[in-house]
């Protein structure tokens, strides 16, 4: 059975106080989330320590187990003189230092990182290897731009992002990868892929993964991201190869985030 996941990508939003309030509001509503759905909050680096503690403070152990903590990036170097960077090892150390929930996930390959910060497939592969070596799980994002879709190149673009990066991993490493398909034209635009468009490319991603990893591709959770909200989550999540969502804007309001998670 593939893990169903609803992951929030807070991006560069919320002050520390607002972030703590947000996670507390999510925690208050977490009993509404179906048993088989895992929530992940991917917060700014500055919030990880406090959010880790806030998750650990959720009283009911079952509710606590439904929510995991993640980061939005890590360095492509292990350590050293890289001013401003945060390593995978640092992320992995947060839980024990805070006596709280561990950082379990890191988002890598987001189109905003690829586009604004020049992160190539080669850089992303380094980041992924470091994250995995520290015991983190990776939410690896792929997706095409509008011009690429219009030119009918979306399958090629996504296949390249998968093959250049994930095909360099072992089957064992692949167990700790979640893939997120995020068409760039749907991110933050209010425009969502139709359920047919999304299902088509999710099935394509799964069959591409199967070329290298065989049956294991059936176990990989593939999330949809791009203007996913409570009003459209149900029809997207009802598709065979869509195992949840990576949520940007709508993850910043507990009510919407939980509303999406209860759409299954």
Binding site for ligand PGA (CB under 6 A): 9, 182, 187-188, 225-228, 246-250
Residue closer to ligand PGA, measured from CB, 58 or 68? 68
Residue closer to ligand PGA, measured from CB, 58 or 131? 131
From the CB of 80, what's the least distance to ligand PGA, in Å?
30
From the CB of 111, what's the least distance to ligand PGA, in Å?
7
CA-wise closest residue to 76 among 130, 31, 8: 130
Q: Is the distance from CB of 247 to CB of 257 less than 8 angstroms? A: yes
Residue closer to ligand PGA, measured from CB, 132 or 228? 228
Q: Is the distance from CB of 236 to CB of 220 less than 8 angstroms? A: no
From the CB of 107, what's the least distance to ligand PGA, in Å?
8
Q: Is the distance from CB of 27 to CB of 54 less than 8 angstroms? A: yes
From the CB of 248, what's the least distance to ligand PGA, in Å?
2
CA-wise closest residue to 51 among 25, 73, 87, 84: 25
From the CB of 39, what's the least distance to ligand PGA, in Å?
15
Q: What tokens appear for 242 in the block?
A: 């869509």
Q: Is the distance from CB of 87 to CB of 75 less than 8 angstroms? A: yes
Cα 180 to Cα 251: distance, rounded to the nearest angstrom: 15
Distances in Å between the alpha carbon of 149 and those of 118, 119, 157, 204? 21, 21, 9, 15
What are 19's strand-pairing partners? none
Residue closer to ligand PGA, measured from CB, 98 or 110? 110
- The residue sitting closest to ligand PGA, measured at its beta carbon, is 248
Enumerate the active-site residues.
110, 182
Q: What is the CA radius of gyration of the chain?
A: 17
DSSP secondary structure letter of residue 44: -
Residue closer to ligand PGA, measured from CB, 125 or 236? 236
What are 70's strand-pairing partners? 42, 105
From the CB of 109, what's the least distance to ligand PGA, in Å?
11
- Residue linked to tokens 């791009």: 226
Q: What tokens appear for 140 in the block?
A: 């690896």
Residue closer to ligand PGA, measured from CB, 92 or 187? 187
């Amino acid at each position: 059975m593939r893990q169903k996941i609803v992951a929030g990508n807070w991006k560069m939003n919320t002050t520390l106080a607002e972030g703590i309030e947000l996670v507390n509001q999510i925690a208050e509503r977490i009993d509404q989330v179906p048993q088989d759905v895992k929530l992940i909050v991917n917060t700014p680096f500055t919030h990880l320590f406090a959010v880790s503690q806030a998750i650990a403070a959720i009283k009911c152990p079952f509710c606590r187990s439904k929510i995991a903590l993640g980061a939005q990036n890590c360095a492509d170097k292990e350590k050293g003189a890289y001013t401003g960077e945060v390593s995978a090892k640092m992320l992995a150390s947060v839980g024990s230092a805070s006596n709280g929930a561990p950082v379990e996930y890191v988002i890598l390959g987001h189109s905003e990182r690829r586009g604004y910060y020049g992160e190539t497939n080669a850089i992303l592969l380094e980041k992924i290897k470091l994250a995995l070596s520290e015991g983190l799980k990776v939410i690896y994002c792929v997706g095409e731009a509008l011009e690429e879709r219009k030119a009918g190149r979306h399958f090629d673009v996504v296949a390249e992002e998968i093959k250049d990066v994930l095909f360099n991993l072992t089957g064992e490493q692949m167990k700790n990868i979640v893939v997120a398909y995020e068409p760039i034209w749907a991110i933050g635009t209010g425009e969502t892929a139709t359920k047919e468009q999304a299902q088509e490319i999710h099935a394509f991603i799964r069959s591409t993964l199967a070329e290298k990893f065989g049956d294991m591709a059936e176990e990989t959770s593939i999330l949809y991201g791009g203007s996913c909200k409570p009003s459209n989550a149900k029809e997207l999540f009802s598709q065979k190869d869509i195992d949840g969502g990576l949520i940007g804007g709508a993850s910043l309001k507990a009510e919407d985030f939980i509303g999406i998670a209860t759409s299954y």
